[in-house]
Amino acid sequence: MVTNSAATAVSLSASKIIPLSMTALLGLFIVGFVGFSHLEVVHNAAHDTRHSLAFPCH
């Protein structure tokens, strides 16, 4: 029974890997776009946010 539930836990976490990594990548993409994009327009729009979140700016 113990090995059975352990196996379930492993397969559960394996099934979670794809959605969790997709979520994390989506989040990193958003933060990267707002905080790190070199596009001048994005920089100007998010200017005060970048300074206030202490992202490297200018």
Partner 1 sequence: MSLFRNIVFTAVIAGLLSGLLLTVMQSFSTVPLILKAEVFENAAPEAGHSHDAAPAAAGTAAPAADHHHEEEAWAPADGFERFIYTLAADMLSGIGFALVLVAVSEAFGGFKGWRGGLMFGIAGFLTVILAPGLGLPPELPGMPAAELGPRQVWWVSTALCTAIGLGLLVYTRSAVFAALAIVLLIAPHLVGAPLPPSHETAVPMDLYARFVNAVYATNLVFWAVLGTLAGVIRERFRAGEEVSAGTPAKLASR
Q: How far is the CB of 54 from partner 1 (least distance, A)?
A: 4
CB environment 28-45: b (16+ within 10 A), e (fewer)? eeeeeeebeeeeeeeeee
What tokens appear for 28 in the block? 């990193």
Residue number, 2 or 12, with CB nearest to partner 1: 12
Residues 9-38 that bind partner 1 (CB under 8 A): 12-13, 15-16, 19-24, 26-36, 38
Residue number, 2 or 40, with CB nearest to partner 1: 40
Residue number, 6 or 22, with CB nearest to partner 1: 22
In sign, the C-alpha dihedral spanning 54, 55, 56, 58 is: negative
